[in-house]
Amino acid sequence: MQELTYPLLALVAAVVLIALAVRLALQTRELRDLAARQSDLAEQRHHAMLVDLHDGLAKQGDRLAGALTENSERLRSATAEELRQTRDTLHALQLALSETLAQNRVAMLEKLAETTQALTGKMDQRLDQISVRVSERLDEGFKKTNETFTSVMARLATIDEAQKKIETLSVNVVGLQELLGDKRSRGAFGEVQLEALVRNMLPQQAYEMQATLPNGNRVDCLLTLPQPTGNIAVDSKFPLENYHRMLDSALPEGERAAAQRLFKSDVKKHIEAIASKYIISGVTADGAVMFLPAEAVFAEIHAYHPDLVDFAMQRRVWIVSPTTLMAVLNTARAVLKDVETRKQIHIIKDELGKLGKDFSRFDERMKRLATHIRQAHDDAQEVETSSRKITQRFQSIERVELEHAPEAGKLHLVEGNPDP
C-alpha cells in the first residue's frame, strides 16, 4: 500500500508543477501585453502633448511677429521724420556755409592773385638776369667749342698728311730699315713719331717737347696735366738691333739666345735711365713713360718677357707703344676736358645757388600765405559755429508754444528742446 502511495504523490506533484508553469507563462504573456499597451498609450499622450506645444508656439510666434511689425512701422515713421528734419537743417547750414566760404574764397583769391603777381614779376626779373648770364656763358662756351673744333680739324689735316707720309714711307721699306740701322736715326724717328702723336691728341699748352727738368736732364716730351696727376715725362727708346738678331732664324741658336739676353739688358738699362732721370719728387708725377715706336717690340716684351714688365712697374716706368700711347693721351685729354667742364659747371652752380635762394624766399612767402589762408579757414569755421548756435536759438524761439493751464486758468510759455 505504501509502495503505491509514493508514485501517486509524485504524479500529483508533477501535475501541480505543470499547472503552475502554464499559469506562470500565461501571466507573463499578459504582463507583456499590458506593458505594450501602456507604452503605446504613453507614446500617444506624448505625441498629443508635442502637437499642443507646437500649436501654442506657432500662435505665440504669430502674436510676436504682429507686435514686431507694428513696432517696426512706428519706428520707421519716427526715423523718417527725424531724418527729414535733420536733412532740412543740414541743407540750411550748407547754404549758409557755402555763402560764407564763397565770400572768403573771393577775398583770398584776390589776395593770392596780388601776391602771385608780385612774386611773378620778381621771378621774371631774376630769370631774365639769369638768362642773360647763361647766354653769355653759353656764347663763350660755343666760341671755345668752335675754336676747339677748328683746332681738331687742323690736327686731323695734320694726321692725314702724316698718314700720307707714312704710306709713302711704307713703300720704301728697305730704305727705312737702313735708316733705322743707326741709333741716332732710330732716336730721331722715335722722337718725331712721339711728337706727332702728342701734337695730334693734346692742346699745345698741355705738353712741352724737349723739356729741360730742374736736374738738368732733357726729356723728349713732358705732359703738363692738372693735379693730382701733375707732370709726366715721356721718353722715346728704340732697342732694335738685338731684337732683330734674336728673331733672325738664319743665326745659330746660341747667338739668338745671346741676342735675347742683350735685348733684355738693353730694355732694363732704358728703364733704369728713365727712372733715375725723369722721376723727380715734387716736380713730376710718381712715374714716367717709356715710348717704344715699334708695336712688334712692345708685343715681344709683353708676350714673352713678363719679368721686364714687372721690373718696369717696380721702377714706376710704364712701357707704351704708339697704340697704347694714344690711349694714354686720350685719357689725358679727357682729364683736361673734365677740368674745363668743371670750371663751367662751377659758374652754373653759382647761378643755380642764387636761384635756389630766390626759391627759398618764395617758399617762405608761400608758407606765410598758406598760414594766412589756414587762419582765414579757422575764422570761417568759428563764424560757422557761431551761426549754427544763433540758428539753433532762433529755432528754439520759433518752437515756443502757448499752453493753457486749466487748473490756474493761465497761459504758460513752454519752450521746446533745441536740436543738438
Residues of the chain with pLDDT > 90, as a percent, come to: 6
Position 355, amino acid: L
Position 52, amino acid: D
CA angle 109, 115, 116 (to 5 degrees): 85
Q: Are 393 and 385 in contact (CB under 8 A)?
A: no
Q: Which pLDDT score is estimated for 409? A: 44
Q: In the predicted model, is pLDDT for residue 417 greater than 50? A: no
CA angle 18, 21, 27 (to 5 degrees): 145
What sign results for the dihedral spanned by CA atoms 129, 131, 133, 139?
Answer: negative
Asked which of 150-154, 186-190, 346-350, 398-402 is least confident by mean pLDDT, the reply is 398-402
Q: In the predicted model, is pLDDT for residue 412 greater than 60? A: no
pLDDT in tens, 138-186: 677 667 766 766 776 777 677 767 667 666 655 543 344 444 445 566 6
Position 38, amino acid: Q
DSSP string, 309-371: HHHHHHTTEEEE-HHHHHHHHHHHHHHHHHHHHHHHHHHHHHHHHHHHHHHHHHHHHHHHHHH
Q: Which pLDDT score is estimated for 166? A: 66
Q: Which pLDDT score is estimated for 403? A: 41
Q: Which pLDDT score is estimated for 310? A: 92
312 vs 136, which has greater pLDDT? 312
Position 299, amino acid: A
Q: Where are the alpha helices (DSSP H) in 172-222?
A: 173-180, 183-201
Q: Which pLDDT score is estimated for 80? A: 77
pTM across the whole model: 0.41
Q: Which pLDDT score is estimated for 404? A: 42
pLDDT in tens, 239-256: 878 888 888 888 888 888
Q: What is the overall mean pLDDT for the chain?
A: 77
Rounded to 5 degrees, what are φ and ψ at 234?
A: -125, 120
Q: Which pLDDT score is estimated for 4? A: 54
Neighbour tally for 398: CB within 10 Å: 8
Q: Are 355 and 124 in contact (CB under 8 A)?
A: no
314: confidence class by pLDDT, cuts 50, 70, 90: very high
> Which value, to the nearest 10 degrees, does the dihedral of the CA atoms of residues 339, 344, 347, 350 take?
-70
Q: In the predicted model, is pLDDT for residue 414 greater than 50? A: no
Nearest to 239 by CA among 221, 257, 276, 264: 264
| DSSP state at residue 252 | -
pLDDT in tens, 197-236: 888 888 888 898 888 888 889 898 998 888 777 888 999 8
Q: In the predicted model, is pLDDT for residue 65 greater than 60? A: yes
Q: In the predicted model, is pLDDT for residue 97 greater than 70? A: yes
Q: In the predicted model, is pLDDT for residue 394 greater than 80? A: no
